[in-house]
């Protein structure tokens, strides 16, 4: 039986897909969940509660690797003060719980791979290309990602190789952002947002999953890696390509920025801003993206 990968956030969109790919490569998978679930031959479920800092320790003691995906969805609700606190603490407190458990058990996994986001570079617009050495922004999104990654450094302090995957817009078949957009675009109601000039760094769910697996298997991978395609896709280009995948040309005007701000509040910054992000660092580790063309990627996700 293969080595065991413990995944937090394993029941979400990325976690489910990643689990499938790990099983295909003969790993076994353990998933930390807030609710009990039925185990299978190769997937085991364990309970944890981040708020009370409780965890079934067997999940950690049996793990060879840990992939940490857990965190409140940053786009699910308006950013009230309470919501902002939930978003930050769901990431930092969950990492703290893993750290405390590893330390208590004197457990040393082979690698700890933490999710992060290209939001590290801020909810800003700009022409410069962000690399892993670009400084974090001091806005809300940048601060969340920075504190998220700093919490992962706790694991590094235990002498465990730590990798941080800064993820862009993840594309999956009727999952994630496409699940929301398809409702409009399939009915011919799609349009660009704001100026439409904001960049939209994206990645196919398969490439993202394989990047996580590469982080497990490639011992040279340490620190942050950007998980995006750097093809200068803007919001206008993305929306045009999505409409074309449904066989039509966008006819509606762009949604004005002030409308989005009225509806979403501060959260509108997520869709009204965007920066170019380089993926050169992961490529230098030998990683090859399978989905590099936006048009063909979106068409493949319609099948």
d(CA 127, CA 130): 9
| Averaged pLDDT in 10-residue chunks for the chain of 303 residues | 91 95 96 88 93 95 97 91 94 96 97 97 92 96 96 97 97 90 91 96 97 98 97 95 94 93 90 95 97 94 78
- Identify whether the C-beta of residue 278 lies closer than 8 Å to the C-beta of residue 129: yes
227 contact partners, CB below 8 Å, separation of at least 6: 165, 166, 167, 168, 203, 207, 208, 211, 279, 282
What DSSP element (H or E) covers 168?
none
- For the record, the structure tokens of 28 come out as 């076994």
Q: Left, alpha or beta for 20 (phi > 0: left; psi -120 to 50: alpha)?
A: alpha
What CA–CA distance (Å, rounded) separates 80 from 73?
14
Residue with tokens 């090859």: 288
Domain borders along the chain are 4-171+203-227
Cβ–Cβ < 8 Å for 197, 235: yes
- What per-residue confidence (pLDDT) applies to 1? 61
Contact at 8 Å (CB) between 274 and 217? Answer: no
| Nearest alpha carbon to residue 167 among 21, 4, 18, 293 | 18
Judge: domain 4-171+203-227, CATH 3.40.50.720.
Answer: yes
43 Cβ contact list (under 8 Å, min separation 6): 19, 23, 28, 29, 30, 31
Asked whether 64 and 29 are in contact (CB, 8 A), the reply is: no
Sheet containing strand 169-172, strands side by side: 175-175, 169-172, 202-204
Which DSSP helix (H) or strand (E) runs through 121? none
């Amino acid at each position: 039986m293969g080595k065991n990968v413990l995944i937090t956030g394993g029941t979400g969109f990325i976690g489910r897909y990643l689990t499938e790919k790990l099983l295909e490569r003969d790993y076994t998978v353990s998933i930390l969940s807030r609710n009990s679930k039925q185990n299978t031959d190769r997937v085991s479920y364990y309970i944890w509660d981040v708020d009370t800092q409780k965890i079934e320790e067997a999940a950690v003691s049996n793990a060879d690797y840990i992939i940490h995906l857990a965190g409140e969805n940053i786009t699910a609700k308006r950013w009230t003060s309470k919501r902002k606190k939930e978003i930050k603490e769901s990431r930092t407190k969950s990492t703290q719980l893993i750290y405390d458990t590893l330390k208590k058990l004197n457990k040393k996994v082979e690698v700890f791979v933490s999710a992060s986001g290209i939001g590290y570079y801020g909810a800003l617009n700009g022409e410069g290309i962000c690399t892993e050495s670009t400084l974090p922004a001091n806005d809300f999104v940048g601060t969340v990602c920075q504190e998220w990654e700093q919490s992962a450094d706790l694991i590094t302090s235990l002498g465990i190789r730590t990798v941080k995957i800064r993820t862009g817009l993840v594309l999956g078949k009727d999952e994630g952002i496409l699940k929301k957009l398809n409702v409009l675009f399939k009915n011919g109601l799609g349009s660009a947002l704001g100026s439409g000039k904001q960049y939209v760094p994206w990645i196919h769910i398969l490439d993202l999953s394989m990047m996580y697996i590469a982080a497990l298997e490639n011992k040279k991978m340490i620190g942050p890696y950007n998980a995006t395609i750097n093809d200068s896709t803007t919001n206008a280009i993305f929306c045009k390509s999505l409409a074309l995948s449904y066989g039509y040309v966008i006819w509606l005007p762009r949604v004005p920025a002030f409308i989005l701000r009225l509806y979403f509040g501060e959260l509108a910054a997520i869709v009204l801003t965007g920066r170019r992000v380089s993926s050169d660092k992961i490529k230098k580790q030998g990683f090859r993206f399978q989905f590099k063309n936006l048009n063909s990627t979106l068409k493949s996700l319609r099948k």
